Amino acid sequence: MVELKRKTGETDIRLILELSGKRQIQVETGIGFFDHMLTSLAFWAGWDLTLICKGDLDVDTHHTVEDAAIILGKAFKEANEGNVEIERIAYAFVPMDEALSRIVVDLCNRPYCTFDAEFNVERIGDYETYMTEHFFRSFATEARITLHVHSLIGTNEHHIIESLFKGLGLALRKALVPRKGGIASTKGSL
């Protein structure tokens, strides 16, 4: 279990993460749709997650979403530290009604992210849709993973974004599955 706090002039966040949890999830960011997305991610990853954030939502959602991604990525990296005999590379295709997304992860200690999804609305509730890409890039950087995020088809932004978050959770869960035969790397380390 990892417990982290992050306090800046823009946000104050408390996080508890257990990667092999029982899906006990409490997310409170003040952005309803974002809470829903983080809950979906944690559920499909199989995590216990507590993430409480007080952010400067009077400005916009940017700092809250960005700082949540940063602290969640750091917590994931710390929780996975030394866990090297894992599948490492995994993918998930996630449908949600008309939407279909593909997420591919490599828990390789090399941060990189590609993101290919377009949104035709600026907001879902108070959530600014452009922050979706920023969340995934910030998470990948802090988690030190390679992450490829692709929306393959979809017309409803809620469905597209939710399939991306679910896909990240599912791909991370698959990548952490223990494997026999040592480290999944020809060079012997991740």
Per-residue pLDDT of the chain (190 residues), as tens digits, is: 999 999 999 999 999 999 998 999 999 999 999 999 999 999 999 999 999 999 999 999 999 999 999 999 999 999 998 877 899 999 999 999 999 999 999 999 999 999 999 999 999 999 999 999 999 999 999 999 999 999 999 999 999 999 999 999 999 999 999 887 766 555 655 5
- The whole-angstrom separation of Cα 92 and Cα 125 is 27
Contact yes or no for 64/30 (Cβ under 8 A): yes
Record the tokens describing residue 36, joined without a space. Answer: 């829903």
Residues 137, 103: Cα–Cα separation, whole Å: 13
Smallest CA-to-CA distance from 15 within 80, 190, 25 is with 25
Q: Which residue has the tokens 């979906």?
A: 40
185 is written with which tokens?
Answer: 């790397």
Phi and psi for 63 in degrees, rounded to 5? -65, -40
pTM of the complete model: 0.94
Q: Which amino acid is at 18?
A: E
Q: Where are the domains of the chain?
A: 2-175
Q: How many CB atoms lie within 10 A of CB 111?
A: 18
Residue 67: partners with Cβ closer than 8 Å, 6 or more residues away: 6, 8, 10, 11, 13, 53, 55
Distance CA 12, CA 30 (A): 12
Fold of 2-175: Ribosomal Protein S5; domain 2 (3.30.230)
Please report where in the chains the tokens 């997304």 appear, as a residue: 101
